[in-house]
Amino acid sequence: MRKGFLILCISILFACQSTNDEYLITSSSVGLISDDTRINEVAGLYPDDSLRTINLDNKLADINKKYELYSAEGDPLLVLEPTGTADTSKIAQVEVISPLFKTRKGLHTDSKFKKVYDNYEISSIQRTLVNVIINLKKEGIFLAIDNESLPDDVQYDDDAMVKATQIPDDAAIKYFWVNLN
């Protein structure tokens, strides 16, 4: 009786784990998309969802082709950027749009900076004109936080180096990318 109950519990645990993998972010995958996935394989991985090419309407459109993955309900999930323009190109970078996709530590697009600061090692913080780009060490994850979230003394000083301790705990993640290269 105990063995049967134990086997049932283990089976349920593995079933739950495989379901979560559909939305799990790791250093080498975003959901079912891994560092070996080619753009022509995505539709088979997410058969109920739709994959659309982003129309960039510029001369670089053929060079920088991107794809959007939408849920069956029409909600945006991911933006995929392949290494090249061929359908057989591997996916190099994924922009995570949906909060369904999470790391094992629970980081997702609706997380606040406190979640990052408490759970990850930050390898670099770089400032752009409108955002602060945070690179998480060993994760392949890059996050953007709006400069407007920063304290005034840092926000209006273009030469100021931004430190993790200067970013407010409640600063929202503006963009979330995973580099699969």
Question: Smallest Cα–Cα separation from 105: which of 116, 92, 90?
Answer: 116
Instruction: Give the residue from 73, 99, 125 where a domain finishes.
Output: 99
Structural domain range at position 171: 105-179
- Residue 48 phi/psi, 5° resolution? -85, -10
Boundary of a domain, candidates 56, 71, 99? 99
**Whether residue 78 sits in one domain with residue 36:** yes
Do 64 and 121 share a domain, yes or no?
no
The answer on pLDDT for 77 being more than 80 is yes
- Same domain, yes or no, for 32 and 80? yes
Q: What percent helix, strand, coil does the chain show, rounded to 5?
A: 25, 30, 45
Is residue 6 included in any domain, yes or no?
no
Overall average pLDDT of the 151-175 stretch = 92
- If asked whether residues 94 and 36 sit together in one domain, one would say yes
3-state secondary structure 123-135: EEEEECCCEEEEE
Q: Is the model's pLDDT at 152 over the cut of 80?
A: yes
pLDDT for 5 beyond 90: no
Band of pLDDT at residue 145, cut at 50, 70 and 90: very high
Confidence of residue 11 (pLDDT cuts 50, 70, 90): very low
Assess whether 28 and 92 both reside in one domain: yes
The one-letter amino acid at 27:
S
Mean pLDDT of 47-63: 72
Looking at residue 56, its pLDDT comes to 61
Q: Pairing relation of β-strands 131-136 and 122-127?
A: antiparallel
**Residue 127 within any structural domain of the chain:** yes
> Is residue 84 included in any domain, yes or no?
yes
Q: Residue 72 above 90 pLDDT?
A: yes
User: What is the DSSP track for 104-152?
Assistant: TT---TT-BHHHHHHH--EEEEEE-SSEEEEEETTTTEEEEEEGGGS-H
> What's residue 59's pLDDT?
53
Last residue of a domain, one of 99, 117, 141: 99
Residues 112 and 154 in one domain: yes
Residues 152 and 91 in one domain: no
- Residue 158: inside a domain: yes
Count of domains forming the chain: 2
pLDDT in tens, 80-130: 999 988 889 999 999 999 999 999 999 999 999 999 999 999 999 999 989
Q: Are residues 110 and 59 in the same domain?
A: no
| pLDDT over threshold 70, residue 3 | no
Q: Please indicate, yes or no, whether residues 61 and 126 belong to a single structural domain of this protein.
A: no
Residue 54 inside a domain? The answer is: yes
Residue type for position 102: K
